[in-house]
Amino acid sequence: MKFSPRRDTQTGENTGTALPPSTSSARPVAGIRSLTIVALVLLTLGFGASHAHAQAWSLTKAQRQAYLHYYAPVILQRADGNNNKQGRDWITNFDFDQDGDFSNNRVNWLNVYNYVNASAYGTGAYSNWRIRPTLYTSLIEYMEGGSKSLVLFYHVYHATDKDGNDIHDWERVEILVRGVTGTPGGGSEYVNHVTATMHGEQLIRRPYDTGGLNFMQTATGKHVLLWAADDNDWDKGSDPYGYHAHALWHVKTPYSTIASRMNTSAEAEVNLHYASDNNVHYVFVPEGSPSAVSAWKAKPLNYANASSLSSHVDNGTEIPWYSTKRITYELQDIADISPTHWAGNQWYIHWLTNDYRYILLESPILNEAGQPEVSAGMQLFYLRSRDIGKPDGVGADAAVLDKKPIWGTYSAELNSEIPWSQDEFGGFEGLGYDSYGRTRGAASGYYDSHNSYWWQHDFFVHSGVITSDQTNYEAGMWLVGAWYTAANGGFDGRWVQLFDDRPGYEPAPAPTPTPVTCSQTSAQQCEINGGTWNSTNCTCRALCSGCQIP
C-alpha cells in the first residue's frame, strides 16, 4: 500500500530531535551466522534438514487469508458516544480521512461526530471519509517436526485514545493454532491459547483455564469473544484500573448465553475475568465470516448509515441487546503500514525520530502484487507517532514495529498485575532465554544483533505455560534458523501484504427493501376466520391450534 499525502509537511530535521545515523558506515553490521550453531539448534529441536524437508509443506495465499478470516475475533465494545463524541469509539483505519497523512488522525477524528451529523442530515460534508473499520493482520507459519502451527495477529486500530488526548491506539490479539491441516477448523486443529492486550500487559487464556476461551463457533469461523473498553481515560477516583482506553479483555460469558439474548430486550452486558456486567454498545464482526455476519445481522459502515450505526449513548448507559450497533470490519495487513516507517520513504509525514529500530531484512517487504516496497538489507525505521495537534508534535508512543508482541517478546500473564511489573523478558537485548536455553542470537545466529538490531525473522512463540514473576525467561521457543523458508514449511507474513487495499472503497448502502403489497381480500378473509393479520409480511396468524385459516 502506498500513501500519497496531499500537502507538504515538515521533515524530521525540523522536529527538534536529532536524526539517528542512517549512513552505511554508521549502521549496525550484521555478523556472519555460525552454521555450526544453527545445525546444533536444529538437532536440539529434533529435526535435521532432511527431516524438515520430508515433512515440510506450505499454505497457499488463499489458505492464509482463509485462516485469518476464520479465526478473526468478534469484539464487543463499550462506547462513550454522546456529547459530540458520536462515532468516537468506532474501529477505523489509518487513512480514514483519505489524505495520506497519519499525523493528523487524532485531530481529524475528534471531528468524527460532524461526520455522523452530516450523515444524518445528508449535507455531503465529510463524504470523502472512509471509516472502514479495520483489523491489521499478519500470520506466521512454521513446522514442528511434521506438524504445522500458525500464529495469527490482529491489531485493532482506533484513531484516538484516552479521552481523545492520544493518537493511534492499536490493541493486539495473538492466536496460536496447532495441528493445522490447510482447512480452517479441520481435522485435529485446535487453538492453543489467545493473548490480548490490556495496556502494558499481555493477558493469555487457554481452553482449560477457569472460564476458558469463549468462541462464537459458526460454519464459517471460530471467533474468540473479546470485550473492548471505550476511549475514556482511567478515572482514578472511581474506577478499577484496566477498563478504559480500548483495553481488551477476554469474555467469560459463553456465546450460547449471548446468542439467546442478542435479539431480545435483555440488557447488553457481558462478564469478564475479574469484572461483571460490562456494558456492550457495539459488536464488530469480521466481514469474511458470512455466518457470523448473518447471525449478528451486522452491516458495513458507510456514509449513508453512519448516524444509525453510532451508539449516541455514554459508557454508563445500559441498552438492550437488540439496540447494539452491529458493524462489520475488514482485514488489512500490518505490512501496509511498515513501509511508511522506512527511512527510504517519506516517513517524516507520519512519524518522528524519537524511537527507531534497525531491522536486517533478508528479503524485501512485498505488496499484494509481490513487488518490493522496502529493499532487503539493513534498514532503518522511524517509529514514534507524530501528532500535529500536540505543541511539540510528539505522539503518545511508538508504533507496531517497536511493540513487543510483533516480535513475541512480551511477558505472558494469566492474571493482571496492578501495578504490572511486566516481568521483562529482554528479547531484544539478548537476555531472554527460551525453554531450550536459547537467546535470540543463538536461534538466528546473529549474536551481534543483541541490543543492536532486529533480524527480520526473529520471533518468540509462547507455549502457553505461564512463568510468573520470572525475568529473562518465558516458556516457549525462539524460531530457529531458516524456519521461515518454503523449503522448511515456513512463512513470515509480517512482511507480506495478503489483502487487497481497495483504495477509496466505500461499502455500498444496503438496498431498500421492496414494499410489500398485501391482498385486501386475504386480509378480510383472515379477519372473518378470527385470525390476526400481519400487513408487514402478508401473513395470517391463527388464535388457536385448531383454527383453519387460509
392 lies in the same domain as 478 = yes
Taking the whole predicted model, whether its pTM rises above 0.95 is answered as no
353-388 pLDDT tens trace: 999 999 999 999 998 888 999 999 999 999 999 999
163-191 pLDDT tens trace: 888 999 989 999 999 999 999 999 999 99
> Where in the sequence is the domain holding 549, given as residue range(s)?
519-550
Domain count, the chain: 2
Cβ atoms of 513 and 536 within 8 Å: the answer is no
428 lies in the same domain as 537 = no
The CA-atom distances, in angstroms, between 401 and each of 155, 461, 494, 517 are 12, 17, 10, 58
414 lies in the same domain as 549 = no
DSSP 73: P
Cβ atoms of 321 and 282 within 8 Å: the answer is no
**Entry field: residues in the chain:** 550
**Predicted pLDDT at 542:** 63
489 lies in the same domain as 525 = no
371 lies in the same domain as 332 = yes
Q: How confident is the model at residue 7 (pLDDT cuts 50, 70, 90)?
A: very low
Cβ atoms of 476 and 463 within 8 Å: the answer is yes
Locate cell 523478558: which residue?
A: 425
Of 104-118, 145-159, 268-282, 285-299, the range with the lowest mean pLDDT is 268-282
**Predicted pLDDT at 125:** 97
Q: How confident is the model at residue 49 (pLDDT cuts 50, 70, 90)?
A: very low
Cβ atoms of 204 and 214 within 8 Å: the answer is no
**Predicted pLDDT at 128:** 96
- Report the candidate in 409, 299, 365, 441 with the shortest Cα–Cα distance to residue 138: 365
Q: How confident is the model at residue 511 (pLDDT cuts 50, 70, 90)?
A: low
* DSSP three-state, residue 461: strand
Burial of 237 (0-12, 13-18, 19+ CB in 10 A): exposed
- HEC sequence for 341-376: HECCCCHHHCEEEEEEEEEEECCCEECCCCCEEECC
Kindly tell me if the per-residue pLDDT of 543 is higher than 90.
no
Q: How confident is the model at residue 8 (pLDDT cuts 50, 70, 90)?
A: very low
371 lies in the same domain as 301 = yes
428 lies in the same domain as 547 = no
**Predicted pLDDT at 236:** 59
Instruction: Give the span between the Cα atoms of 378 and 346, in whole angstroms.
Output: 18
Residue 56 lies in a domain: yes
482 lies in the same domain as 531 = no
**Predicted pLDDT at 6:** 42
Instruction: Give the span between the Cα atoms of 84 and 515, in whole angstroms.
Output: 35
**Predicted pLDDT at 50:** 36
Residue 281 lies in a domain: yes
Average pLDDT, the chain: 87
Of 118-122, 164-168, 212-216, 233-237, the range with the lowest mean pLDDT is 233-237
Residue 505 lies in a domain: no
**Predicted pLDDT at 184:** 98
Q: How confident is the model at residue 533 (pLDDT cuts 50, 70, 90)?
A: confident
Burial of 446 (0-12, 13-18, 19+ CB in 10 A): buried
Of 135-144, 246-255, 294-303, the range with the lowest mean pLDDT is 246-255
**Predicted pLDDT at 200:** 79
Instruction: Give the span between the Cα atoms of 251 and 171, in whole angstroms.
Output: 16
524 lies in the same domain as 491 = no
213 lies in the same domain as 256 = yes
Instruction: Give the span between the Cα atoms of 547 and 25, in whole angstroms.
Output: 92
Mean pLDDT of 411-415: 85
438 lies in the same domain as 533 = no
**Predicted pLDDT at 37:** 45
Instruction: Give the span between the Cα atoms of 175 and 204, in whole angstroms.
Output: 10
**Predicted pLDDT at 16:** 40
Mean pLDDT of 279-284: 97
Cβ atoms of 400 and 155 within 8 Å: the answer is yes
Number of CB atoms found within 10 A of residue 535's CB: 10
Mean pLDDT of 56-68: 97
Mean pLDDT of 229-234: 85
Proportion of the chain above pLDDT 70, given as a percent: 84
**Predicted pLDDT at 162:** 85
**Predicted pLDDT at 12:** 38
Give per-residue burial for 331-355: e unless 16+ CB within 10 Å, then b.
bbbbbbbbbbbbbebbbbbbbbbbb
Proportion of the chain above pLDDT 90, given as a percent: 68
Residue 149 lies in a domain: yes
414 lies in the same domain as 525 = no
Kindly tell me if the per-residue pLDDT of 425 is higher than 80.
yes
The CA-atom distances, in angstroms, between 272 and each of 13, 30, 278 are 47, 46, 8
